[in-house]
Amino acid sequence: MNRKGILVVVSGFSGVGKGTLMKLLTERYGHYALSISATTRTPREGEVDGREYFFKSRDEFETLIAEDRLIEYAEYCGNYYGTPRDYVEDQMEQGRDVVLEIEIQGALKVKQKYPETLLLFVMPPDAETLASRLRGRGSETEDVIHSRLARAVQEAEGVEQYDYMIINDVLDESVEKLHYLIESQHYKINRNLDFIEQIRSEVRVFAKGE
């Protein structure tokens, strides 16, 4: 069977718990590679350069753009965010499923470049949960929280272009759903045409009794 790596985009409202979901997914299953983005936003408390993000100045980021070293990039709430190309391509070649946790403009650019990309959207169980999770994070001012909630409303409009949604209510179940949605892509007929053809020709040999 074809185990070529799958490219997966996970998007969802700020504060919906994507980061925790990704962390658990990669801890639980060893074959996922989580892409680390470059950004011009300032690190939050506890974030480490090269772990959550590669933190860059605007000049450094614009050099990455000019040298075509990003698969996609977008501006979100006044900062640049982008996906480094080398890591994603290397990991997919090695057969790992690569997960990008990015926002919608970037997601749609990735889908254009790599049409087989699986687009997943993480939803909160309800709006109240989302707002209280954002406040609970404690690392952002009310202004930033409002700008993120406003952006969330905008993003909900593009969700029709995604393939599946996951309602992040019970974290443990969400991780399993995420894993099985990705896993199912490996079994798509159009990803396995070579394998199917091989079985067909082997069966033909049996049918002829050779």
In the complex, the residues that contact ligand 5GP under the rule CB under 6 A are 14, 37, 41, 72-74, 76, 81-83, 101-103, 105-106
Which CB sits closer to ligand 5GP, 41 or 133? Answer: 41
Residue 54 burial (CB count, 10 A): 16
In a 3-state reduction of DSSP, which class is residue 173? Answer: helix
CA distances from 116 to 4, 6, 100, 182, 187 (A): 12, 8, 14, 12, 13
**Smallest separation (angstroms) from ligand 5GP to the CB of 169:** 20
Measured torsion, CA atoms of residues 87, 103, 58, 47, in degrees rounded to the nearest 10: -70
Q: Give one word for 112, left, alpha or beta, with left for phi > 0 and alpha for psi -120 to 50.
A: alpha
Comparing CA positions, the residue from 131, 111, 134, 136 lying closest to residue 121 is 111
**Smallest separation (angstroms) from ligand 5GP to the CB of 47:** 8
Which CB sits closer to ligand 5GP, 32 or 76? Answer: 76
* CB 145, CB 135: distance < 8 Å: yes
Which CB sits closer to ligand 5GP, 14 or 174? Answer: 14
Which CB sits closer to ligand 5GP, 167 or 186? Answer: 167
The vertex-60 CA angle with 139 and 51, nearest 5°, equals 45
Q: Enumerate the H helices of the chain as residue ranges.
A: 18-28, 58-66, 85-93, 104-113, 127-137, 142-156, 171-185, 193-207
Which CB sits closer to ligand 5GP, 142 or 194? Answer: 142
**Smallest separation (angstroms) from ligand 5GP to the CB of 102:** 3
**Smallest separation (angstroms) from ligand 5GP to the CB of 173:** 22
Which CB sits closer to ligand 5GP, 47 or 197? Answer: 47
**Smallest separation (angstroms) from ligand 5GP to the CB of 18:** 6
Residue nearest to ligand 5GP (CB): 106
**Smallest separation (angstroms) from ligand 5GP to the CB of 108:** 9
